[in-house]
Structure 1
Amino acid sequence: MEINPAVTFQHDRSIMYAKRPKVLIVGAGLAGLSLGMLLHKAGIPFEIYERALEVKPLGSAMYFNATTAPMFKQCGIYDEFVSVSKPVSTMKICNEQRQLEYMIQFHGHEELFGAEGYIVARPKLYDILLRQIPQEHLHLGKKVLSMDQGGNGVLLRFSDGTEAEGDILVGADGAYSAVRQGLYEKLKKEKRLPTGDGLPLPFSTVCLVGQTRPLTAEEFPDIELPDCQFRTAVGTNKPYAWKTFTTAQRSVCFIVMQFLDMESSKDNDAFRNSEWGPEAAQAMCEQVRDFPVISGSEKGVTMGDIFDWTPKDLISKVMLEEKVFDTWFDCRTVLIGDACHKFNPSGGVGAANAMHDAIVLANLINGLPFHPIADEIEGAFRAYKRERIDWVKKAYSSSAVLRTMAGPTMAAKMVRYIAKRIPAWAMRKAELRVLSNRPSVAYLPPQEDKGSIRPFFQPSLSARAPVEEEKTKVVGSFEEKKEEVQVAVQTSKAV
């Protein structure tokens, strides 16, 4: 296919068959799989392209609450999600002496917002989402070399010599998105890229992430407790914080964060573009082996024990970039998840916001007319960003505060001092700002939201598929004719 930007004609849809736009998704992470699942349920053609040759169960634990529960329930995966997760009601902040400093409570969420919060190991949720995607639509080993877009479609070229054509291109390929880089390069040449979007991703933290094998009660007694034991330990006079989470699989997920200064930033800059993997992790493991961990045992469990219980290929060292990009779309190309907004994991909102992106974007793509032209597609993308941007900025701010709270600076100590003394009403107000955003899929049967706090207004719920619009017109026309006949009958009777 030859991509021609000059093609701007309006289709005569009255003589064309009903064709939904074909969506090309680059990236098979949580954002890409969520969007693929939703498009599949809408009957919209899609393909997912992933550069990796195989899917590896890397990562740590993730937190999900009432903000994703409606979508999980609509897609029929909520019960399975709960079965592989552990409920979490508190986040405990501890010191290096294994003493509890204070707790942040998450009580009453089901009554107020319709669902409780859960901690789930990333590989488990990934597996659930992966099984929602027909395997013929998932293509591995597809590294994007170049992309073109114009009035008549999009074209991807891969390193294996193959190509893919479609109507919409979605960059769901993470913080160093190839789709974003290709889009921004084009916009920069055309002098349409904001200056800030052209700057490198800022980062102030690196971390180790992973998950142990299933543990025994003797090794880690807290593994037996029904609730997730979510603990954050803050280093004393050292630039580190570490988190542990017990899972439903009797494993312990962990994150060890190193807060960088000017010197350590230079030392870690080589990892900026590296893949998640074990080769970069071993040196950092040795540096933090002696860090104490609370396990419910009198034995002095350390991060070294956690590492020894973890398969080496499941420990990764990663950069923790933080940025909200200004440019999310152009023409037929759009970005979702980490490709357009990257949060520090301290806030626990990165995965949920990627799924919120997928919900809103799927609603608006489903609402496009048959054979949409580039202007109509771009209009849907504009509505997508308009609906999401304020929520994204709130999530970015809250993540930055929680990241600061675990750090070694004076500002961090002040945040912790305030957090210890924050009144319950102020905490509830902060929760309302986040948990009132409970987006739903417009074209799937709605689920009853039993929360006493109603969900915030969601503009994309009004998006309707073109076949639904036609039904509405037919029904409306029938009702008008019916009313005319009734009026005529009444008139004749009166006469």
Structure 2
Amino acid sequence: MENLKAIVIGAGMGGLTTGLALRQAGFSVEIYDRVSELRPAGAAISLWSNGVKVLNRLGLGKAIASIGGQMERMAYYSHTGELLTDFSLSPLIQQVGQRPYPVSRTDLQTMLLQALGPDRVQLNAKCIAVEQDATSATAIFENGHRATGDLVVGADGTHSAIRQYVVGHSVERCYVGYVNWNGLVPVSDDLAPQTSWTLYVGEGKRASLMPIADNRFYFFLDVPLPKGIESTPETYREELSGHFKGWADPVQTLIQRLDPNKTNRVEIHDIEPLQTLVKGRVALLGDAAHGTAPDLGQGGCQAMEDAWILANYLTTTNLSVTDALLRYQAARKERVADIILRARKRADMTHGKDMEKTQHWYQELQQEDGTGIMAAIAKTILAGPLN
């Protein structure tokens, strides 16, 4: 199909990657976002090899390598500091054919925007409705603007306005049961080795340090808590010191060293797997289609897979736009449902929903040489479209 025009709602990772993939396929693309300034949600993201391969395919291999962290090893410690397992990720990289890149979300967004070129995103454009007829689809904005194209892509995130139109009912987000604090700190030997993903686990909680570019660690701290507890940056350090009392020295050092005003605090949610991802000429993509807990590190990667598959079907099938979108849905529905459910299951195990299972996992880590962990990661990666 030639000379298609796509209206993309949302300029997050999924929307920008979609815009790039569609433009490279020769289509006209307009990208809209409701915000007045593009600022990524969250500090950083672990881009596993399936996501990196999509970026490679879009000609961004060198760019992502230059902003990605060099993660060579993975290590688990008990919360009191005993080493449980430490292993090289080299066998995983060899198996899947691409190294992962933990990356600052700001760096990733900047890279995608530069690849798209200047003035590619129209800001202050809040999409409130979509409509379609036999030949076109239209996004309707709060300011009265209407954008019409051959298709509309709803990449408008976990609070998607387009999702209800596509699935026919409102979709409630599900609280997964834990709160995540995340941010960036300078690399330092008293926190973790510079090329290792280091995790401390215990009491249903996690403390993690992951290398990203420019001598920084991406950190996160997870605590199972009831939803809705009020919290402000002024109290983050005190709260975390309480939650991680008695934990190993590097965790204490991290809590003292983080900048509360540049730390994000997120109550982790997902959504039930959707039975439909498209309606006629309107498709859901990324978190709008499959909001997932971050416990498999696949949220951003799945958005990138979506973008690649969508562009691929619009390029390679010539029956109709609606036919291409149905093929996109068929290719993605089970894949993303599996990611949501496995991430939720892992979140439960990691965060002490059934503490007996969590304790059993801690014991398993002591016997782990990396083979089992890497096999699970490889299985997720190799189920992607560019395996």
TM-score if structure 2 supplies the norm length?
0.87
Give the one of 325, 333, 354 matched to 2:303: 354
Q: Paired residue for 1:410?
A: 356
Which has the higher Rg, Structure 1 or Structure 2?
1
Corresponding residue of 1:100: 83
Q: CA deviation at 1:364?
A: 0.9
Counterpart contact for 2:140–2:146, Cα < 8 Å: yes
Paired residue for 1:396, among 329, 340, 364?
340
Say if 1:24 and 1:168, in contact at 8 Å, map to a contact too. Answer: yes
- 1:221 paired to 2:167: no
Cα shift readout 1:425-463 (whole Å, capped 9, x = no counterpart): 6555434422323534xxxxxxxxxxxxxx3xxxxxxxx
Aligned with residue 131 of structure 2, among 148, 167, 189: 148
Residue among 294, 309, 317 paired with 1:345: 294
Structure 2 distance, partners of 1:414, 1:226, is: 29
Instruction: Tell me the residue number matched to 1:331.
Output: 280
Is 1:231 aligned with 2:198?
yes
Which letter maps to 2:381?
L
Select 1:201's aligned residue among 156, 165, 173: 173
5 Å-filtered alignment, 1:147-166, equals: 147-166=130-149
| Partner deviation per Cα, 1:46-69 (whole Å, 9 max, x = no partner) | 111111100124413322233234
* CA gap 1:427/1:327 in 2 versus in 1, 3 angstroms: same
Q: Which of 320, 325, 328 does residue 384 from structure 1 map onto?
A: 328
Q: Deviations over 1:239-284 (max 9, x none)?
A: 5322222322122222222223xxx23x34x8xxxxxxxx855444
Query: Is 2:215 the counterpart of 1:250?
Result: yes
Q: Distance in 1 between matches of 2:283 and 2:232?
A: 32
Distance 1:130 1:350, change over 3 A: same
Q: Does structure 1 residue 31 correspond to structure 2 residue 3?
A: no
Pairwise CA distance, 1:285: 4.2
Q: Which residue of 2 aligns with 1:315?
A: 263
Kindly report structure 1 stretches of 4+ aligned residues shifted beyond 6 Å. none
TM-fit CA distance, 1:154: 1.6
Distance 1:107 1:245 in 2: 16
Matched, 1:259 2:224: yes
State whether residues 90 and 106 of structure 1, in contact with CA within 8 Å, keep that contact through their aligned partners in structure 2: yes
SS in 1 for 2:139: strand
Conservation of the 8 A alpha-carbon contact between 1:235 and 1:241: yes
Letter in 1 for 2:294: P
CA deviations over 1:89-128 (Å, ceiling 9, x no partner): 3332223323323346533234322112222222211211
Tell me how far apart the structure 1 counterparts of residues 85 and 133 of structure 2 sit (CA, whole Å). 55
Does the 8 A contact of 1:60 with 1:255 survive in 2? no
- Give the match's secondary structure for 1:339: helix
Superposition RMSD in Å: 2.8
Structure 2 gaps of 5+ residues are none
Once the two structures are TM-superposed, the CA of residue 77 in structure 1 deviates from its matched residue by 1.5
Displacement of 1:394: 3.5
TM-score by length of structure 1 reads 0.70
For 1:385-422, what per-residue CA distance to the aligned partner results, in whole angstroms no more than 9, with x for missing partners?
22123332342344234323431322222233334435
**Whole-Å separation in 2 of the counterparts to 1:57 and 1:163:** 26
Q: C-alpha displacement at 1:320, in angstroms?
A: 1.4
What is the one-letter code of the residue matched to 1:121? S
Q: State how far apart, in whole Å, the 1-side matches of 2:234 and 2:160 are.
A: 26
Residue 254 to residue 425, structure 1, CA distance change in 2 (3 Å)? closer
Q: CA deviation at 1:32?
A: 0.4
The answer to whether 1:49 aligns with 2:32 is yes
The residue that corresponds to 1:14 in the other structure is none
| Cα contact 1:27–1:174 (8 A) shared by 2 | yes
Q: Give the Cα separation in 1 of the matches to 2:263 and 2:285.
A: 26
Residue 256 (structure 2) aligns with: 304
| Corresponding residue of 1:210 | 183
Higher relative CO (Cα under 8 Å, sequence separation at least 6) belongs to: 2
1:161-176 pair list within 5 angstroms: 161-176=144-159
Residue 396 and residue 57 in structure 1: after superposition, are their counterparts in 2 closer, same or farther (change >3 A)? closer
Aligned-pair identity in percent equals: 21
Name 1:124's counterpart in structure 2: 107
Pairing partner for 2:376 from 427, 430, 433: 430
The answer for unaligned runs of 5 or more in structure 1 is 1-17, 189-197, 271-278, 441-454, 456-495
Counterpart of 1:74 (choices 57, 77, 81) is: 57
